[in-house]
Each structure stands twice: as C-alpha cells, then as structure tokens.
Amino acid sequence: MSKNPIIQHDILGLMHINAPAEKKPVLTVTEVEKSFVTPQGTISILEHTSFTVYEGEKVAIVGPSGSGKSTLLSLIGLLDTPTTGMVAIDGVDTRNLSEDELARLRNERIGFIFQAFELIAPFTVTENISAPLEIAGNEIRKEHIETLISEVGLEKRSEALPFTLSGGEKQRVAIARALANHPNLILADEPTGSLDRETGEKVLSLLLDAVDVHGKTLVIITHDASVAARMDRVFEIRDKAVHERS
C-alpha cells in the first residue's frame, strides 16, 4: 500500500470522453453544488456545476459580481468544500481527504495568485518566494529561487521588503511564489485587478509566459474581457452554473 494516503483516492482511471488528445485532466469538477444556511434560509450559490481543465490550458472564469466566482475559486483551490459533488486535482478525488491531506495536496499541486498580492510583510522578496517550499518541508535550492526571481525581472529587488515594492512588483513576487513548489495548477484571482492598465498588461504577459515556460495549467478569475480574450477557453458563471463560451 502507498505511504501517501492521497493516492488511495486517485481517480485517474475515469474516462474523460471529451479530453483533448494525450492531455490529462488537471482539474475536474463534477456536479458541484454550494449553499449556505443563514437565519433567513438556505442560499444556493452554485448548482450542477461540471467542467474539466486539461494540462497546459489557460482558462478564464468570468461572471458578474456576486455570481459565485470567488466561491468557485475557493472550492477548486481546496480552501472550502462543496455541499455536494466532487472536485479532483490531478485525478485525486478530494471528497474523503482529511484536512491534513487537503493541505498537503493544496501546497504540492496548486499555486495561488491573489488580487491583493498576500505577501508576508516581514519577509524579503526571496523569502516570500521560498515560503511554499518551507511550508512543504521541501529543499530550498538557491539556484531555483534565483531563476524564478530572474524570470519575473526582480534581480535587483531580491532582498527588498514588500512595503518598498510597487503593485506590479508585488504581483511579480506572487507569480514567482506560485511557481516555487512546481504545482501543476495555478489559480489566479483577478491578478491585474489592483494594477493600472499598462502595468496589468505587463504582469499578465509575464504570467502567461511563465505558465508556458513551466508547462503549467492556469485558471484565472477575471471581470476583464481583454484578459479573458487571451485565454484558451472561457467559462461563464450564469444561472448558478458554469457554461463554456463557444
């Protein structure tokens, strides 16, 4: 039996009839529903939501404010659990995983990029980028971190603290940090939303280039049509479910 209990929940053997040739599913969402119980009654956010994202794809999820984009991101990022349905990462069915197993899977296989950057204030650029490796207990190789810093163009800012960085520089750190632990899936929540148009376009181009160079899969939450237009596929949340645009 495998020493890693996550492997016991592997569902890679499932058929994916519409899968692109020789592409494996990195994210599978199957009949997911999410609701919240309030004093006024049950509020349904997502219903009958199913889709698959394959390795190497860049996917945008769009929808009006309040449509459930942030809720969906929390579910596929394993920060929250569905009321019903299944989320699988790299073929791993997450329904029966413990909190510790979910945390390990999240740290090993998902990289996060947030609109508000979420950098650790007392840490330098280098330390922020290294943080996922330290949390996972993985070796922090100086050359790996230096390569990431170089890829995002922050060689001269490697020892800077977050409060000294511009918004664009902070998001560059966040991109490098998301790639540090070699995750297969990058989740980006409005990554250009806090930036001016010119800086946002530069950061988005850097993100897309980095995803290509490292062979990652990208799911980006955005309200910006110009950002969505640069993705391979676009999913829209409407009527509490996800629909792919043709």
CATH number at residue 169: 3.40.50.300
C-alpha span between 152 and 93 (Å, rounded): 33
Q: Which domain holds residue 128?
A: 55-81+96-244
Q: Is residue 66 part of a domain?
A: yes
pLDDT at 14 over 50: no
- How long a stretch of residues is the chain? 246
Angle at 141 (CA atoms; ends 139, 145), nearest 5 degrees: 120
Q: Is residue 128 part of a domain?
A: yes
Instruction: With beta carbons less than 8 A apart as the criterion, state whether 51 and 86 touch.
Output: no
- Per-residue confidence (pLDDT) for residue 164, from 0 to 100: 96
DSSP letter string over 165-189? Answer: S-HHHHHHHHHHHHHTT--SEEEEE
What pTM did the predictor assign? 0.86
Give percent above pLDDT 90 in the chain. Answer: 67
pLDDT at 5 over 80: no
Look up tokens 């163009």; give the residue: 153
Q: Is residue 36 part of a domain?
A: no
pLDDT at 203 over 60: yes
Per DSSP, 237 falls in state E
Q: Is the dihedral of CA 187, 134, 117, 182 positive or negative?
A: negative
> What average pLDDT does range 193-219 have in this prediction?
90
Q: Which amino acid is at 135?
A: I
Question: Left if phi > 0, otherwise alpha if psi is -120 to 50, otherwise beta: which for 18?
Answer: alpha
Collapsed DSSP state (helix, strand, coil) of residue 69:
helix
Phi, psi (degrees; rounded to nearest 5) at 103: -65, -40
Q: Is residue 16 part of a domain?
A: no
Q: Is residue 18 part of a domain?
A: no
pLDDT band at 115 (very low <50, low <70, confident <90, very high): confident
Residue pLDDT, tens place only, 139-190: 888 999 999 999 999 999 999 999 999 999 999 999 999 999 899 999 999 9
Q: Is residue 48 part of a domain?
A: no
Distance in Å from the first CA to the final CA of the chain: 44
Total domains in the chain come to 1
Phi, psi (degrees; rounded to nearest 5) at 240: 70, 20
pLDDT band at 2 (very low <50, low <70, confident <90, very high): very low
Q: Is residue 233 part of a domain?
A: yes
pLDDT band at 21 (very low <50, low <70, confident <90, very high): low
Q: Is residue 227 part of a domain?
A: yes
